[in-house]
Amino acid sequence: MSFNVSTSDRVELNDVTGEVIAEIDKSGVKEGIALVYVPHATAALIINENERGLISDMTAAISDLIPRDRRYEHDRIDDNAWSHLTSAVIGCSLTIPITGGRLECGTWQNIFLVELDGPRRRKVIVKVIGA
C-alpha cells in the first residue's frame, strides 16, 4: 500500500496524516502497528503539530540541522549532498501504534513528509501489521 505526494518547493513539509489513516482503514487492522516509509534518500518523515507558524519553524530548523555551505564531495556528482545528509539524520521510517482500528497518535501529532530536494513526486509506503 502506498500513495504519492507532489512537492512544490526545495524544502517543504507535507501533512500526510489523512492519507496514512485511509490506508489503515483499508487494511482493516484493529490492533497492531503502521510502518510509514519513504523510499527516497533525499526525503524524510517527522511527527509533530500542524500549526502554520510551527511548520515554518520546523522548515527552518530542518534547513539548519546540517550545514549547507560546506564543500561536500557528493556535490561533484549531484548537487544535493545536503539533502542526503539531512535525510540520513532525520530518517525515512516511522512506526505508529494502531489501537481500536485507529492511529494512536496524540492530539498534536501529525505525520509530515519532509521534502529535502524538491520539487519532486514522492512515494509514501504504509505497511500495516496486526489483526
Residues within the interface to its own copies (CB under 8 A): 32-33, 35, 37-42, 46-49, 51-54, 56-58, 60-62, 64-67, 70, 72-77, 81, 84-85, 87-99, 104-106, 108-109, 125, 127, 129-130
> What span, in angstroms and rounded, lies between the C-alpha atoms of 32 and 103?
9
Nine-digit cell string for 32: 497492531
For its own copies, the closer CB: 25 or 64: 64
For its own copies, the closer CB: 21 or 54: 54
Task: Write down the least CB distance from residue 20 to its own copies, Å.
Answer: 13
Q: State the sign of the Cα–Cα–Cα–Cα dihedral 53, 58, 44, 22.
A: negative
SS3 80: coil
